[in-house]
Structure 1
Amino acid sequence: MMIIRHAVHQDIDDIYILAEKSGVGLTSLPNNKDIVAARIARTCDTLNGQLSKAEQGYLFVLEDTDTGRVIGLSGLEVAVGLHEPFYSFHVGKQVHASKALQVYKTLDTLFLSNDYTGSSELCTLFLDERYRKNYNGNFLSKARFMFLAAFPHLFQPKIIAEMRGHCDENGRSAFWEALGHHFFNMDFITADYLSGIGQKVFIAELMPRYPIYIDLLPPDAQQVIAKVHQLTMPAYHVLQQEGFQYQNHVDIFDGGPTIESEISTLRAMKQSRLLQVNCTAHIQHDEVAYLLGNDHYQQFRVIQVKQKIDLQQQQIDINAQQAAALQVQHGDWIRVFALHALETH
């Protein structure tokens, strides 16, 4: 069985292995064991109420209970940009016009901004390649929405997600080479790593503060602005289905799109239901996949099931194994959410 739960210190070796496998682009969890340990500690301190809103964050793990190994990660930041500035490029327009010369020209620009200050953020999504099947990627991503639906008061009204931008098989980013590289004598992989260990603000503050005309960038750099990395496309489509949209902001390093949503409009907020547990050995299996979550803040658990569930009823049948995985008993209430949007008639 697969279970999603909060990361704990005993997971550090497995998480570090995943960080090594993730390669270039997962800036929120670089290949650095001290950073991994600090990220786990921050989750524990957040759960124990020891951090201010500016410092709070959650790291979830996907555990294969058959092996006891952590094989996936996903994260939530409570409020970005309150402790140190959060930068992105706003993709906008400037008009150059002269009535006397009968000239009217609209030019696309990049402008360094802090527009997402105070927003919550989805981050750190990675699944071991061997487990990219049976909807595990969707499960890992959407379990966070179960947590948001259970505890919306802990987060900000708006939530964002930075999508990994395009780079080639050698880790070269055309966007970085055309822009950031001119201000720093380092390659993209180095800049990406420094970003992940907390140097992103330092780098951003040395970027140009004036509008950058996109037409002045090389064609290969122009083409990757707001383009999602091939390996990140499935995650991008998942978030689109849950209510996220691109609103003309891109990452300052690789040009990947930042997408956003109001938490109140997420599908999980509208369609998840609280149902009362009926423990039974008789489960009706089905092809429709659901997420079941226990809504316990400190011992949060989510599992994925394929069984017949009527969301219009007040009760849900689960077996002893599912109840143990969720740490619930007969009569408790659990949150139920269809993994994919259900057709309505």
Structure 2
Amino acid sequence: MMIIRPIKEQDHDALWQIAQITGVGFSSLQPDPEMVQKKLDWAVKSFRADKALEEAYYLFVMEDTETGKVVGVTGIESAVGLKDPWYNYKVNTQVHASRELDVYTRIKTLTLCSDYTGHSELCTLFLTPEFRKSYNGHLLSKCRFLFMAAHEPRFDDSIIAELRGYSDEDGESPFWEALGRHFFAVDFVEADQQVSRGKSFIAELMPRNPIYTNLLPAKAQSVIGQTHQDTVPARKLLESEGFRYTGYIDIFDGGPVLETQVDDIRAVRDSRRYRVRVHDSVDTDETVWLIANSQFRDFRCMAGHLSFEGLEFVNISRAQAEALNVQEGDELRVVPLFNPQRNSHR
């Protein structure tokens, strides 16, 4: 059974092991001992704080309850850019026209901006390769939505997800090579390692004037707003929940930024609260449900089957109750794991 829970200090070694396999372009968790420790400390502090931190980092792990092994991580930042600037490129269109010459051209430009300052961000999503099966990926990503639904005051009304941009089999980014490398003279891999500590230093060296994309090589133009092949499933999942690309990209690798309102996320909007009834066995249908308790420090989330009793109660097994850390009469928040055509329990 897979369970989602807040990360703990004892998870340091597991987090370090995951950091060593995330790969080039996964800047939010790099194999850097100092960075891993900083992330862990920040997350633990965020969960322990009596009052919500202005910039909190809620990092969760996926644990296989049969082995106790941590097999994935997923996170949310409550607000970005409040202390360190948060930069993106806005993809705009400029029109150049001349009636005399009968010329009319539309040219895309990249403009440095900080439009997402203060927004919440989905981040640090990684599932170890051997566990990329069944619905583990959906659980790892969507558990964050039930946590936000239960604790909405801790987050901004708007939320973004900055996705890893395209890089080739050799780990090179055409966008970086065409643009960033000219102002920050290192290769993509080295820049990726440095950007894990923050992107403000890159923005300080990048041009402030709009960049005409038609002056970039064709290969670089073609990857603007494109997603790394390993991140394509994550993008499709977020889009199925209501996230959309609106023309903002990462200044580092050109990856897309998806955004939406928290209340417009399908799993937030359609989730409902029920009281628990625990049984030795439960008769269920084939629907897979995303199930979470309403706690904060002891948040738990899983995917599984259950049944409903009227409009107030859900029936779950004793094993599920133990995994979710709930007892008879406690509250659970429930939503179909996948976007259904019809939901008779709304």
Is the 1:30–1:197 Cα contact (8 Å) retained in structure 2?
A: no
Change (3 A) 1:335 1:219: same
Unaligned runs of 5+ in 2: none
Tell me by how many angstroms 1:282 deviates: 2.4
Residue 227 of structure 1 corresponds to 226
Tell me by how many angstroms 1:287 deviates: 2.2
Is the 1:96–1:106 Cα contact (8 Å) retained in structure 2?
A: yes
Tell me by how many angstroms 1:311 deviates: 8.8
What whole-Å deviation, never above 9, does each CA across 1:164-187 have from its counterpart, x for those lacking one? 111011110001000001111101
Residues in 2 aligned to 1:51 and 1:224: alpha-carbon distance in whole angstroms: 42
Is the 2:166–2:228 Cα contact (8 Å) retained in structure 1?
A: yes
Unaligned runs of 5+ in 1: none
Which deviates more, 23-32 or 93-102? 93-102
Is the 1:225–1:255 Cα contact (8 Å) retained in structure 2?
A: yes
Residues in 2 aligned to 1:262 and 1:4: alpha-carbon distance in whole angstroms: 24
Residues in 2 aligned to 1:160 and 1:145: alpha-carbon distance in whole angstroms: 13
Matches within 5 A, 1:306-325: 306-307=305-306, 309-310=307-308, 313-325=311-323
* SS in structure 2 at match of 1:71: strand
Residue 342 of structure 2 corresponds to 344
Residue 205 of structure 2 corresponds to 206
Q: Which amino acid aligns with 1:192?
A: D
Residue 36 of structure 1 corresponds to 36
Residues in 2 aligned to 1:15 and 1:279: alpha-carbon distance in whole angstroms: 33
Residues in 2 aligned to 1:101 and 1:51: alpha-carbon distance in whole angstroms: 64
> Would you say 1:333 and 2:331 are equivalent positions?
yes
Is the 2:172–2:189 Cα contact (8 Å) retained in structure 1?
A: yes
Residue 127 of structure 2 corresponds to 127
Matches within 5 A, 1:10-159: 10-49=10-49, 53-159=53-159
Q: Identity over the aligned pairs, expressed in percent?
A: 46
Q: Which amino acid aligns with 1:325?
A: A
Residues in 2 aligned to 1:227 and 1:47: alpha-carbon distance in whole angstroms: 34
C-alpha RMSD of matched pairs (Å): 1.5
Q: Which amino acid aligns with 1:169?
A: E
What whole-Å deviation, never above 9, does each CA across 1:250-281 have from its counterpart, x for those lacking one? 11111110000001111122211111100111
TM-score (norm 1): 0.96
What whole-Å deviation, never above 9, does each CA across 1:21-79 have from its counterpart, x for those lacking one? 11112111111122112212111211222687443111110001111111001010001
Which deviates more, 278-287 or 137-146? 278-287
Is the 2:276–2:314 Cα contact (8 Å) retained in structure 1?
A: yes
What whole-Å deviation, never above 9, does each CA across 1:159-213 have from its counterpart, x for those lacking one? 0001111101111000100000111110111111111123x11111111111111
> Would you say 1:218 and 2:256 are equivalent positions?
no
Q: Which amino acid aligns with 1:196?
A: S
How many positions carry a matched residue from both structures?
Answer: 343
Which deviates more, 242-251 or 315-324? 315-324
Which deviates more, 266-275 or 134-143? 266-275
Q: Which amino acid aligns with 1:258?
A: V
Is the 1:87–1:112 Cα contact (8 Å) retained in structure 2?
A: yes
* SS in structure 2 at match of 1:40: helix
Change (3 A) 1:282 1:50: closer
Residue 300 of structure 1 corresponds to 299
Residues in 2 aligned to 1:213 and 1:36: alpha-carbon distance in whole angstroms: 37
Q: Which amino acid aligns with 1:112?
A: L
What whole-Å deviation, never above 9, does each CA across 1:313-341 have from its counterpart, x for those lacking one? 21111111111111111011111111001
Q: Which amino acid aligns with 1:18?
A: I
Q: Which amino acid aligns with 1:321?
A: A
Residues in 1 aligned to 2:185 and 2:114: alpha-carbon distance in whole angstroms: 25
